[in-house]
Amino acid sequence: MTMDTGARDVLAVMELLLTAEIFNRSEELGINDLHPRCREFFGAGSGGSTEVKRPLIVSEGVLKKVFNTPDAVCQAVRANPFVGYEEFGQRLSLPSLDPAAGWFLKKGGASRVEVNPVLAYYFEGKDGITVRYRDVLAKNPRFDDTKEYMEAKVSRLIGENEEMREARDLIIISAPNEVEFSVEKLVCTPRQEEIIRKIGVALEHRDFLQEHGIYEFGRLLFVGPPGTGKTSLALAMSRALHMPVLEVRLAMVTSQYLGETSKNIDRIFDLAKKLAPCILFIDEFDFVAKTRVSDDHGAMKRAVNMLLKNIDQISFVKNGVLLIGATNHPRILDEAAWRRFDEVVEFPLPDQAMRQAILEKVAAAIDCDCDFADLAARTDGFSGSDLRMMIKEAVMSALMEDRQRVDAADIEQGLLRVEERNVIRGVGY
């Protein structure tokens, strides 16, 4: 163990000690104030609970078990004049918080204050400290964004409720930190960026909107050709707004026992309200229109009417459910379906400037010899999905030749593969 590594390890243990002492003294701090590393060490959030039992305790046994902390580091921490040690239980503590905090800063702990909300809460306003608690808290990964929290919440809601269990089986639930898409990785139109900001403001001011009776808000219809980012943005909004997303495909909801379909729709909306605030994302919404104009079973038409009725009754302001419908075929939606939505957001095929921005983002982490401006000019009519597939195929072309650098020939291969795919898609068999 080098001196540098040893010093870092000692500083890490002192961070835990400071976090425990400050947290124990400050009842207003909660689980989202704890850095994920601290949550892991103190067992906060086990079983999906947001309650943190005080006092938080740091013991050598847990240090060795959770973080494999070497004996030499534990001895160095015990030797610190500001650290108390209790033989029974091998517990470490900070009898004098202020001197220990001063030592922590002098030894290089400032960078840890910048990412630990509990430390930022204590140090804000002190001499030489410019960090703000609220800024650090905003960047700290939230516990209620985790899969563990979401699964525990769903389990509690479902319990012994057979109807809720059936609803759960019909949807895909993703916690915000499970979603791989983020708004920063997408290239959005100004209108799409505006709707994200607007929903964020509404979420922050839901109480105000309720007080003033402004309920007709938060039912969005995403329209545009396949591959233009409708699903990607719906999922990315989950991360941006810290709300889980419930994905529904209407074709999956239709039971072979048609009489159950209306009940299934009711149950899905009930579950969404119980999991609120959340996003309820209904893909392939044109299924509604196809059903309404067909001569299908009467039970199916009743189910679609039940869906429209539920949409009428859902409100982001009242219920905390952001409803997003997505369709590739807006022309076939009738007026009854269309007027259910408060706002329509278009997802056009990207223009040349957007195509260049998409290519640059997709290839940002790839060693790539590519003229993005030229490539954007040559890919008129490509969707964002097509462009991502082109880069993926170019990367595979390079890897097939045992290279990690993508060259112009690989890009041509990727372009060819996408064009072939689009030709095949247009063939009627």
One digit per residue, the tens of pLDDT, for the chain of length 429 reads: 444 667 889 999 999 999 999 999 999 999 999 999 999 999 999 888 999 999 999 999 999 998 898 999 999 999 999 999 998 889 999 999 999 999 999 999 999 999 999 999 999 998 788 999 999 999 999 999 999 999 999 998 888 788 888 888 889 999 999 999 899 999 999 999 999 999 999 999 999 999 999 888 899 999 999 999 999 999 999 999 999 999 987 777 765 555 677 788 888 999 999 999 999 999 888 776 665 555 556 666 777 788 889 999 999 999 999 999 999 988 888 787 888 899 999 999 999 999 999 999 999 989 998 889 999 999 999 999 999 999 999 999 999 999 999 999 999 999 999 999 888 877 655
Q: Give the angle subtended at the CA of 106 by the CAs of 100 and 109, to the nearest 5°.
A: 80
Beta bridge partners of 222: 326, 345
CATH topology of 145-346 equal to that of 352-425? Answer: no
Residues 240, 241, 247, 248, CA torsion sign = negative
- Rounded Cα distance, 209 and 32, in Å: 26
Instruction: Out of 1.10.3720.10, 2.40.40.20, 1.10.8.60, 3.90.1150.10, select the CATH number for domain 352-425.
Output: 1.10.8.60
C-alpha 172/C-alpha 149 separation (Å) is 16
Paired tokens of 370: 């590519």
Beta strand 219-223 with 245-249: parallel, antiparallel or unpaired? unpaired
Domain boundaries, the chain: 3-141, 145-346, 352-425
Q: Considering the domain 145-346, what is its CATH architecture?
A: 3-Layer(aba) Sandwich (3.40)
